[in-house]
């Protein structure tokens, strides 16, 4: 709402300035509404072109999110929507660019048809009927770059060919350079001597007898007469005042992240899990992370410029000690394949940037939390479960509901041992109600069961089909009356949309559900 209010106020105030401001009186008479709309949309573009960079300052957002001064859960949830805010600013830039370009096309025609013989300095055209598009060269380039970035940001292109999205989005560097050069020619001019030449005053050499008679009637007072000719100066661009601060902040952020990720990590183990899932176990000096955070990986062997987010399933800090082999090289199992670096292959060089904050960090900050995972979306919550297994203390979480939906039963083997270990630990501590686990397999064809003895706790909680989300939330609400339940989701859009809608409407037993969606920017 604050962002919408700022855009509306800026558009309206700029519109009124150019329509009623005395310094723009003659320019407004020449261009009309095209002037007001073009300048008002330009102000909104300046605002959003500066704001669109801030959500991409990931390290800054992570620092603010983890700072003690940000104790409000509502503030942290707002920071988690940084990607949504980035998209909203980008859409606003695209929409108001269309408005801005359309208004300027009208201005070009007005410059040609409303050629002023009385004030030649205002004219862009050299004579009546001439169409000049000098300021439009940079504008055309900006529109082309923006069009490429907008089209390549669509979901279908990002899924089918991520490289196109990545490389076109990096054209923002060229975009901002051209943006600060836009309209350097000063096509729009304002009057500088309003006090000595009031707009509409009677000039000695004013043309047109009818106009002159009308102005003579109004000019009974000497103050209505012009003391000198109107002087005009180009209206130089102010875009750099808007974007220079956020742009410098983003550049400093990128430099900091480059220096932080400059040391390559050591890949210790590669574990191939069922369903073509690969787990990397790595070491990095001075790396510290919290459960629920994620990192960005860069592999120069694939691409020197591409970076992809990956969730952390463990955040243990492991150093080169005597237990190094036991901690990072577990014994081989039949359901996974371990590929140690020394024995089988030399892995490519990998750089890790991060960690960065995510919504899953707040799982521990609720009395009751519900974690919903769809398929591989379980990875952010695996780190949370691993922290509980390690016996973390000092958090307020009193009960955790965990729902995991997969298409194939083999997917549950990714973290089957972790789930079983946590179940046994809580039973030994006489806290069986602390962790409520529900597993759903959606594919019924070729259905298998987890028949292994060690996975018996999971087999008893495995159900066929899809969860009935409304019944599930009602059940949680009845068991936790008058409490605030944190709902965390990482999975397909269908699940997240359903949960978001139900969380906004469900109020069983006075229970409030707060929806948090994992999104990697």
Of 455, 453, 467, nearest to 402 by C-alpha is 467
For the cut 80, the answer to whether the pLDDT of residue 129 exceeds it is no
Is 207 inside any structural domain? no
Tokens at 460, concatenated:
């008893």
State whether 244 and 276 are in the same domain: no
With vertex at residue 355, the alpha carbon angle to CA 349 and CA 357, rounded to the nearest 5 degrees, is 150
Task: Report how many domains make up the chain.
Answer: 3
State whether 363 and 321 are in the same domain: no
Last residue of a domain, one of 305, 321, 356: 356
pTM of the model: 0.77
Of 478, 442, 479, 477, nearest to 462 by C-alpha is 442
State whether 321 and 371 are in the same domain: no
Residues 8-36: pLDDT tens digits?
A: 999 999 999 988 888 888 888 888 888 89
State whether 180 and 307 are in the same domain: no
Is 194 inside any structural domain? yes
State whether 42 and 115 are in the same domain: yes
Residue 94 and residue 148: Cα distance in Å, rounded? 11
Residue 367 and residue 432: Cα distance in Å, rounded? 16
| Strands of 139-255, DSSP E | 189-191, 232-234
State whether 267 and 240 are in the same domain: no
Residues 237-296: pLDDT tens digits?
A: 778 888 889 999 999 999 998 888 887 788 887 877 777 777 788 888 888 888 888 888
State whether 385 and 509 are in the same domain: yes
Tokens at 351, concatenated:
């750089």
HSE (side-chain half, CA atoms, 13 Å) at 93: 25
Is 410 inside any structural domain? yes
Instruction: Count the Cβ atoms, other than its own, within 10 Å of residue 128.
Output: 13
Of 148, 182, 143, 185, nearest to 166 by C-alpha is 148
Residues 451-460: pLDDT tens digits?
A: 666 777 787 7
Strands 277-283 and 266-273 turn out to be antiparallel
Of 428, 272, 421, 394, nearest to 344 by C-alpha is 272
Is 504 inside any structural domain? yes
The CATH number that applies at residue 376 is 3.40.50.80
The CATH number that applies at residue 285 is 2.40.30.10
Residues 435-476: pLDDT tens digits?
A: 888 888 887 665 566 666 677 778 778 888 888 988 898 888
Residue 397 and residue 404: Cα distance in Å, rounded? 19
- What is each CA distance from 55 to 162, 167, 298, 355, 490, in whole angstroms? 20, 19, 21, 16, 20
Is 217 inside any structural domain? no
Phi, psi of 339 (to 5 degrees): -120, 85
Tokens at 97, concatenated:
């660019």
Residue 329 and residue 62: Cα distance in Å, rounded? 31
Paired strand residues for 462: 439
Q: What is the pLDDT of residue 325?
A: 35
Residue carrying the six token digits 């083997």: 413
State whether 373 and 296 are in the same domain: no
Q: What is the pLDDT of residue 342?
A: 43
Residues 422-436: pLDDT tens digits?
A: 888 888 888 878 888
Residue 234 and residue 437: Cα distance in Å, rounded? 68
State whether 351 and 364 are in the same domain: no
| Strands of 193-243, DSSP E | 232-234
Is 337 inside any structural domain? no
State whether 494 and 388 are in the same domain: yes
State whether 244 and 272 are in the same domain: no
Can you give the length of the chain in residues? 521
Residues 360-379: pLDDT tens digits?
A: 888 888 889 999 998 888 88
Instruction: Work out the average pLDDT over 394-422.
Output: 85
Residue by residue, DSSP assigns 291-323 as TT-EEEEE-TTT-SS--EEEE-S------SSTT
Q: What is the pLDDT of residue 507?
A: 66
Is 67 inside any structural domain? no
Q: Are 400 and 387 in contact (CB under 8 A)?
A: no
State whether 12 and 98 are in the same domain: yes
Is 135 inside any structural domain? yes
With vertex at residue 308, the alpha carbon angle to CA 302 and CA 314, rounded to the nearest 5 degrees, is 115
Residues 202-235: pLDDT tens digits?
A: 665 554 444 445 544 554 455 567 777 778 787 7
For the cut 90, the answer to whether the pLDDT of residue 93 exceeds it is yes
Instruction: Work out the average pLDDT over 319-336.
Output: 41
Tokens at 266, concatenated:
């050591």
Range(s) of the domain holding residue 160: 1-62+75-199+232-254
Q: Are 35 and 18 in contact (CB under 8 A)?
A: yes
């Amino acid at each position: 709402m604050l962002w919408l209010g700022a855009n509306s106020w800026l558009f309206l105030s700029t519109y009124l300035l150019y329509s009623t401001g005395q310094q723009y009186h003659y320019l407004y008479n020449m261009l009309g509404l095209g002037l007001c709309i073009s300048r008002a949309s330009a102000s909104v573009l300046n605002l959003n072109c500066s704001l669109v960079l801030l959500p991409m300052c990931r390290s800054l957002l992570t620092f603010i999110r983890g700072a003690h001064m940000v104790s409000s859960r509502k503030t942290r949830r707002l920071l988690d929507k940084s990607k949504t805010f980035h998209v909203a600013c980008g859409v606003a830039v695209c929409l108001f660019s269309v408005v801005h370009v359309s208004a300027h096309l009208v201005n070009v025609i007005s410059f040609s048809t409303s050629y002023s013989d009385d004030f030649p300095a205002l004219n862009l055209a050299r004579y009546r009927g001439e169409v000049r598009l000098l300021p439009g060269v940079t504008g055309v380039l900006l529109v082309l770059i923006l069009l490429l970035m907008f089209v390549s940001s669509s979901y279908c292109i990002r899924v089918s060919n991520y490289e196109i999205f990545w490389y076109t989005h990096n054209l923002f560097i060229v975009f901002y350079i051209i943006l600060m050069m836009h309209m350097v020619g000063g096509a729009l001019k304002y009057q500088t001597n309003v006090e000595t030449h009031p707009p509409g005053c009677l000039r000695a050499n004013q043309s047109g007898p009818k106009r002159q008679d009308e102005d003579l009637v109004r000019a009974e007072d000497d103050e209505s007469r012009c003391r000198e000719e109107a002087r005009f100066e180009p209206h130089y661009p102010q875009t750099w005042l808007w974007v220079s601060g956020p742009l410098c902040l983003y550049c400093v952020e990128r430099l900091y992240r480059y220096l932080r990720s400059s040391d390559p990590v050591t890949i210790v183990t590669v574990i191939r899990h069922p369903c073509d899932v690969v787990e990397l176990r790595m070491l990095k000096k001075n790396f510290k992370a919290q459960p629920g955070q994620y990192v960005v990986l860069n592999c120069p062997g694939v691409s020197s410029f591409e970076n992809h987010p990956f969730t952390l399933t463990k955040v243990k800090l492991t150093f080169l000690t005597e237990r190094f082999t036991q901690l990072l090289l577990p014994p081989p199992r039949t359901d996974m394949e371990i590929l140690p670096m020394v024995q089988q292959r030399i892995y490519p060089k990998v750089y890790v940037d991060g960690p960065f904050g995510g919504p899953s960090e707040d799982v521990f900050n609720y009395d009751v939390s519900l974690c919903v995972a769809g398929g591989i979306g379980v990875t952010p919550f695996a780190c949370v479960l691993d922290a509980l297994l390690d016996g973390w203390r000092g958090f307020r979480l009193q009960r955790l509901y965990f729902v995991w939906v997969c298409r194939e039963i083999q997917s549950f083997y990714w973290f089957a041992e972790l789930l079983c270990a946590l179940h046994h630990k809580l039973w030994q501590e006489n806290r069986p109600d602390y962790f409520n686990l529900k597993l759903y397999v959606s594919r019924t064809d070729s259905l298998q069961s987890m028949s292994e003895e060690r996975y018996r706790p999971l087999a008893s909680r495995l159900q066929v089909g899809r969860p009935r989300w409304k019944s599930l939330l009602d059940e949680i609400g009845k068991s936790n009356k008058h409490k605030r339940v944190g709902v965390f989701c990482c999975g397909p859009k269908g699940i997240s949309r359903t949960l978001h809608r139900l969380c906004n409407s469900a109020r069983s037993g006075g229970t409030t559900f707060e929806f948090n969606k994992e999104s990697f920017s």
